Structure 1
Amino acid sequence: MFLEPMNKLNVSNLKKCLGNANLNVPLNEIKIDMALHFVEEPVEIMDREVRSLKRSRIPLVKVRWNSKRGPEFTWERDDYMKSNYPQLFVDRAVEPTRKISGRDFHKEGIL
């Protein structure tokens, strides 16, 4: 006995999509890996913060990405970025601009 999926696609639910002819992405700016996934790379470190929880402090960096489809800036863990992209930390040192408490963690939804 086979179970059919609950959500079936019905052609009558499709809507016509009109493309924008003026919206072009230069092909030389797109990087694709072997699995044909878009490769997003960090461009620079914009800012630093230290998030404080009850018993720990988490250093974060604000990263500008070469993204064509998502947010241009994200907050990432400092240790992760240093281990994967050490070249971003060689040229420029950015001082933390503010200290954030654990209560702010959950409000902003970063971690």
Structure 2
Amino acid sequence: MSFLGGPELVHEVIEKIRVIRDRLRKAQSGKKSYDDVRRRDREFDVHNWVYLKISPIKGVVRFVEKEKLSLRFVGPYEILRRVGKVAFELYFPNDLALVHPVFHVSMLKKCIGDPSTIVPLEGFEVKENLVYEEVPVEMLDRQVKKLRNKDVSSVKVFWRNHLVKGTT
């Protein structure tokens, strides 16, 4: 009694496995070369000053505007020590005691200049998951535009922790 596929089936399976491995190797190589072109190695030393990336969240209303959705950094904070190859421990003031002080290098941005000249933001509360709440301070302007059969009202709002150009 002979095997159903015989040696031909075994050779066919081995050939298909070789083709799959070659295609996986090619895909991984392409992804690696794509990432290597765009990757910037960030190196920090102990006692350097860095900014920490956080994400803004809005209460009820979300405005779709590029400036509001851009990356936000707070700080600067001093690096206390290196933890592993790509993580650093930061020194936080007492108001950020709830935030874990160890961050991946991708969450940090080098502070260029003298950090003692930077004025800290008052009333700026960062939560444990590195988000902060946007709070409207003042309504600067109100308009009502007439369309064909409806009125569309728009309000210009000045947000806390933003410059005047950051109004929406």
- Scaled by the length of structure 2, the TM-score of the pair is 0.33
TM-score by length of 1: 0.46
Structure (1/2) with the larger helix percentage: 2
